[in-house]
Structure 1
Amino acid sequence: MELASLLTPAAVKSIGGMTSKKRLLQELAEIAADCYGISADDAVEALQDRESIGPTGVGEGVALPHARLGTLSKVSGVFLRLERPLPFDSIDRQPVDLVFALFAPDDCGVAHLKALAAVSRIMRNSSTCAKLRANDDPDTLYTILTDLQNTKAA
């Protein structure tokens, strides 16, 4: 699965001043609402519900929050690079600065899992994470995320 099919350039941002995990989830939901036409309130509630099951901070400064929403027609993503790492209850207890959120339709089945696996593979790559941390331009971040798979396929 190609990240370009999950992510629009407008859903990739570098931000600072994030004060809490709750505020971060709200920001992700607001960006998803702007980019994909979903309800920000529904999206933040779904993200919070998922986090209550167990935190989605996977370690090494990376979080992969995800949620299902009935109003989506396909799996969609939001990527944030945080200027200052934020506590996120990660498995390694380290704060996060790279956040890739996925929003999936309620009935998408395997597509959600395939998207999560694809994002996880990319975000586990230390070289990719270093490139993402070294850049704050959203267009550059989008290119790093989406061109990576095309380079490997060639």
Structure 2
Amino acid sequence: MLASEVAARHGLPEDKVLDAIQARERLGSTALGRGVALPHARVDWLDAPVAVLARLTHPIDLEARDGEPVDLVFLVLWPEAASEGFLPALSNICRALRDNQIPRQLRRARSAAEALQTLQAADRSAP
């Protein structure tokens, strides 16, 4: 469902989005714990990075180490040609999501704009 939504919103091929997500998950779960997952992939068919936050109505089991089902999914697709920004981007997202307050605020956000403000504020306060 997430692959379909991302593909539709960003004009991407759904099958390639799904393949990228599934290929990464086969390497190991991208669940970070505390109900958060960060599926990510570098792909050769993308021109610009895509990041999507999904708040799931029904949490899913992604085999997180803490056993918690995932209800926040932060999907990142990154162009292979722009690899220099990929790891710092993932690191910044992980740092923000490790702060217990950020996932709580994202779960309470009443709109996409409010969720984006939460993430931007976390980014500005990062060291």
TM-score between both structures, scaled by the size of structure 2: 0.88
Q: Of residues 40, 46, 55 in structure 2, which corresponds to 1:66?
A: 40
Work out which structure has the larger RCO, using CA pairs closer than 8 Å and 6 or more positions apart in sequence: 1
Q: Of residues 15, 36, 55 in structure 2, which corresponds to 1:41?
A: 15
The Cα offsets for residues 56-112 of structure 1, whole Å up to 9 and x where unpaired, read as 001111100011222212222010112232111112221011110100112322311
1:86 matched to 2:54? The reply is: no
Q: Measure how far apart 1:115 and its partner are.
A: 1.0
Equivalenced residue count is 126
Gaps of 5+ in 2: none
Q: Is the 8 A contact 1:75 1:103 kept in 2?
A: yes
Amino acid at match of 1:68: R
1:147 matched to 2:113? The reply is: no
Q: Secondary structure at the match of 1:109?
A: helix
Amino acid at match of 1:53: L
1:54 alignment counterpart? 28
- Cα RMSD of the aligned pairs, angstroms, is 1.6
Q: Supply the distance in 1 between the matched residues of 2:87 and 2:76 (Cα, whole angstroms).
A: 10
2:78 alignment counterpart? 104
2:106 alignment counterpart? 132
Q: Secondary structure at the match of 1:89?
A: coil
Identity of aligned residues (%): 33
1:22 alignment counterpart? none
Q: Supply the distance in 2 between the matched residues of 1:89 and 1:122 (Cα, whole angstroms).
A: 21
Q: Supply the distance in 2 between the matched residues of 1:83 and 1:32 (Cα, whole angstroms).
A: 17
Q: Measure how far apart 1:32 and its partner are.
A: 2.3
Gaps of 5+ in 1: 1-26
